[in-house]
Amino acid sequence: MLINFLNVTFILFFIGLSGIFFNRKNILLLLMAIEIMLLAISCNWTFLAFYIDDLLGQLFSILILIVAAAEASLGLSILILFYRVKSTISVELVNLTKN
C-alpha cells in the first residue's frame, strides 16, 4: 500500500521536474511546476509519517505547504508587476529588467 502512494508522489515529482525542463518560456507554468514538486514532497512526508506513526513528518508537510504558499504569492506578485511593465510573461525578456 505504501509503495503505491510513494509511486504517486514519485510520478508527481517528475511531472513537475519535466515541466521545468521542457517549459522555459512561460513563468506561470514554471511556478506551477515548482508547486507540483512541492506538493509531491509534502505528500511523501505525509504518507511516510502516517506509515511510521510519527507526527514530525506531518509537521514538516505543513511547513512545506506554508513555504509553497509564500513562494506562490511572491512569484505571482512579481509576475503581475513584470506583466504590467513588459506586457508579456516570457522568460526570455527577464534579462531586460535589470536596469
> Looking at the 3D structure of the chain, how many domains does it have?
1
Domain assignment present for residue 99? The answer is no
Q: Are 42 and 65 in contact (CB under 8 A)?
A: yes
Instruction: Look up the CATH number of the domain holding residue 58.
Output: 1.10.287.3510
pLDDT in tens, 15-70: 999 999 998 778 888 888 999 999 999 999 899 898 898 888 889 889 989 998 99
Taking the chain, what is the end-to-end CA distance rounded to the nearest angstrom? Answer: 54
What is the C-alpha separation between 9 and 70, in angstroms, rounded? 22
Min mean pLDDT across 3-17, 38-52, 59-73, 80-94 is at 80-94
Give the pLDDT confidence score for residue 98 in this predicted structure.
58
Residue type, 37: M
**Residues spanned by the domain of 74:** 2-94
Domain assignment present for residue 22? The answer is yes
